[in-house]
Structure 1
Amino acid sequence: MSHDSRRDFLKKAALGGALAAGLTQGRSARADDQPDRRVVPRTTLGKTGREVSILGLGLGSAYTRPYENDPETAQALLEAALDHGINYFDTARAYGPSEQMIAPVVKAHRDRIYLVSKSGARDYDGLMREFEITTTNLGVDRLDLYHLHNLKPGQDDLGRMERGCLRAIRELREQGAIGHFGVTGHSGAQIMTDAIERFDPDAVLTIFPVSRPDQGRYETQTLAVARQKKMGVIAMKIFRRAREADLQASKMVSYALSLPGVHTAIIGLDRLDHLIDNVNTVTNLEPMDEAERDELHRIAKARLGNDPAPYELAGYRDAHDVA
């Protein structure tokens, strides 16, 4: 091994994020026919054991608003993502027509897609009803990952959830109707940490922007517990606020994917040129070490000040994109 190769190997071995994990090259029939096409690397999503692209698609309003009445373009965008090896498709009951919009592509390429949806129901019957609606909308009888959506402190009682929606989602997993279950949220690190400690989910979807909201507790607390439990960790909202700090998109993506324990990042799908830019970004990224991440955070905070992000404000609804 050359000196440079050994140095790169040691640098990656010292890190624990998706960029430094055991990455594999995503497969795409069309990409195989075009050797110059960039293909997004993949990694294992924690204890789920499933292989996912390190770039996932957020299929909320950034996707639904422009294309609800333009099904051809909506489907063409998804096909383009598949061609670049992206297999992580993230939707939710709260995302309006999203499930129905992606259904034709899911039907045509089910074996190439890691299919994720979410339920905001908190009771047993409500979650079962939402699962039935979701699978009907998508034209499938099974989801790869199903989340309890958008946990909020002061509003969600984890004990009631355990007796209600959690009981339902565990039954669905036992029946094989879902492969794995997770929890999502961005309204405080403590409730996310409490939920993963109490519920022992397979995966968690939460926020890891360079601004380090909630005094950095998503990283120092929630992510630390998730790593200990070997959970699959999905980053969202990595561009929110950081856009205001005038930082390069590639640095924001690299920051999140270099965090030890983070496996993939989902970004809103809106336009083909943005999709290609994101593909190019994740296929060219270099991992950041801790010192580099700290410096980027320092720069971001100096530019942003202490103003809260939109998702930190009371009344924010998570029915939008997840960039």
Structure 2
Amino acid sequence: MALALDRRPLGKTGIEVSAMGIGSSPFRHGAAADWVGLLEEAYDCGITYYDTARSYVNGEAVIAHLPPSVRDGLIIATKTGARGGPHCLRDLQASLRTMGRDHIDLWMTHMVETMREYELCTELGGFCDVAVAARTAGLVRATGASFHAPTEVILRAIEERAFDVVMFPFNVLGRETVFGAPISDYRDRLLPAARANGVGVVVMKVLAGGEMKHGAPRLGFLADPATGQDTLSGAIRYALMQPGIATAVLGIANRTELRRNLAAGIGVGPDPEACRTLEARVAVASPGECTRCAACLDVCPEGIEIPKVFRLLDQDRFFGMTGIARFKYARMQPDASACARCGKCAEVCPEDFDIARLLQLAHVRLTQATRPAGSRQTEEENTHG
């Protein structure tokens, strides 16, 4: 029997999804019809979960161009940026018209970042009220929210069962997510809570927002030369092996990426032991001083985003992601050279290291403003990789 992509239940929604999903953020280039062939091939190869949003150029429009057998066979998730009110309902109606469908499988509110934004969703007339009414009317099969938020915000949403599905960043790099919310926290707290409450989990940023595509040579242990799988393939397999994740969304821009991702994901199911092995190896490889707890984020008088500087420094010195780290550092204003050594960050930092000295080291290492070779993607375009 030929191996195929794993199929998994999406929480208690009654919806089954492929373990790997395709994200539409790369579809912003060209016209919607240009992406039909790639989406059809992905579906024919077993990828049934498709992620888009009202704000993604071409993302919804491409659905209307698909043959009915593909359009109706996909599990389609789309998002509104609204937290409630009339605009929220207008987005739902516009999404249905644009896609040429009579329902949406998973309708989500997009990029919830703070506790206050979450509370807006749950207040009277908020997204949750609108989404439940839409579900009752048959316009929506399940409700959800995508989060770029601290652990406590997402945990509250899960425990209150405000949504049928939650979506958040998850990747093997461990600390590479929202400041104040390490991925280890997401793994060890959110995934068990979601299982306990019957909430489906969709993850994104499996390749650190696409940053790993520009090279991570010191993570070579993620590769499997015997099967021809590279470091990116190993990072994809890690997300697919993680128990509790229904589907991992990857932004796929061409057939080469599609086939590479499929080769990595075919036949992969939950494997907690393999996950723990990879997590331990990454932890040993990246013994950075900063945990990205974000305690210092708003205390610097000069406005330096200290956790972001250290994130880029660690990518450079531990993972070999030098090109993308230097490129992003060159866009920081102010950068680490603005440090006045006032010591205010040290007063709130729970770790014991010389922050000012490490900022100086970061500036020295990252001041070569290098754009990754062959890259046309911006930081914003790497939404789901």
Hey, what does 1:256 align to over in structure 2? 239
Secondary structure at the aligned position of 1:179 is classed as: strand
Given the alignment of the two structures, is residue 277 of structure 1 paired with residue 242 of structure 2, yes or no? no
User: Residues 304 and 56 (structure 1 numbering): CA distance in 2 closer, same or farther, change over 3 Å?
Assistant: farther
Q: Distance in 1 between matches of 2:121 and 2:72?
A: 36
Hey, what does 1:50 align to over in structure 2? 15
Hey, what does 1:321 align to over in structure 2? 383
Q: What aligned pairs does 1:146-225 form with structure 2 within 5 A after superposition?
A: 146-153=107-114, 156-159=117-120, 161-163=122-124, 164-213=126-175, 214-215=181-182, 216-225=184-193
Q: TM-score, normalised by structure 2?
A: 0.66
Secondary structure at the aligned position of 2:12 is classed as: helix
Secondary structure at the aligned position of 2:111 is classed as: coil
Q: What is the root-mean-square deviation of aligned Cα atoms in Å?
A: 2.9
**Letter of the aligned partner of 2:234 in structure 1?**
K
User: RCO (CA 8 Å, sep 6+): is it higher in 1 or 2?
Assistant: 1
Checking the alignment, whether the CA contact within 8 Å between 2:170 and 2:206 is kept in structure 1 is yes
Q: Distance in 1 between matches of 2:240 and 2:77?
A: 20
For residues 188-220 of structure 1, give each alpha carbon's deviation from its aligned partner in whole angstroms, at most 9, with x where no partner exists: 222111222234321111111112232322112
Checking the alignment, whether the CA contact within 8 Å between 1:190 and 1:222 is kept in structure 2 is no
Checking the alignment, whether the CA contact within 8 Å between 2:83 and 2:120 is kept in structure 1 is no
Hey, what does 1:94 align to over in structure 2? 55
Given the alignment of the two structures, is residue 63 of structure 1 paired with residue 27 of structure 2, yes or no? yes
Larger radius of gyration: 2
Match of 1:298 among 283, 295, 315: 283
For residues 276-323 of structure 1, give each alpha carbon's deviation from its aligned partner in whole angstroms, at most 9, with x where no partner exists: 11111101547351531322431553489763478xx9xx99775311
Q: Distance in 1 between matches of 2:67 and 2:152?
A: 35
Hey, what does 1:74 align to over in structure 2? 35
Secondary structure at the aligned position of 2:286 is classed as: helix
For residues 149-188 of structure 1, give each alpha carbon's deviation from its aligned partner in whole angstroms, at most 9, with x where no partner exists: 1111165151564322211111111111100111111232
User: Residues 125 and 86 (structure 1 numbering): CA distance in 2 closer, same or farther, change over 3 Å?
Assistant: same
Gaps of 5+ in 2: 176-180, 220-230, 292-309, 313-327, 333-377
Checking the alignment, whether the CA contact within 8 Å between 1:63 and 1:270 is kept in structure 2 is yes
User: Residues 70 and 198 (structure 1 numbering): CA distance in 2 closer, same or farther, change over 3 Å?
Assistant: closer
Percent identical: 26
Hey, what does 2:83 align to over in structure 1? 122
User: Residues 300 and 267 (structure 1 numbering): CA distance in 2 closer, same or farther, change over 3 Å?
Assistant: farther
Checking the alignment, whether the CA contact within 8 Å between 1:210 and 1:296 is kept in structure 2 is no
For residues 29-76 of structure 1, give each alpha carbon's deviation from its aligned partner in whole angstroms, at most 9, with x where no partner exists: xxxxxx7xx74232222211222111101011x2222xx2372x4111
> Which has the larger helix fraction?
1
Checking the alignment, whether the CA contact within 8 Å between 2:103 and 2:138 is kept in structure 1 is yes
Q: TM-score, normalised by structure 1?
A: 0.77
User: Residues 170 and 277 (structure 1 numbering): CA distance in 2 closer, same or farther, change over 3 Å?
Assistant: same
Checking the alignment, whether the CA contact within 8 Å between 1:39 and 1:279 is kept in structure 2 is no
**Letter of the aligned partner of 1:175 in structure 2?**
A
Aligned length: 281
Secondary structure at the aligned position of 2:173 is classed as: coil
**Most deviating of 90-99 and 289-298:** 289-298
Checking the alignment, whether the CA contact within 8 Å between 1:211 and 1:300 is kept in structure 2 is no
For residues 247-273 of structure 1, give each alpha carbon's deviation from its aligned partner in whole angstroms, at most 9, with x where no partner exists: 312221222222221111010020101
User: Residues 226 and 165 (structure 1 numbering): CA distance in 2 closer, same or farther, change over 3 Å?
Assistant: same
**Letter of the aligned partner of 1:58 in structure 2?**
G
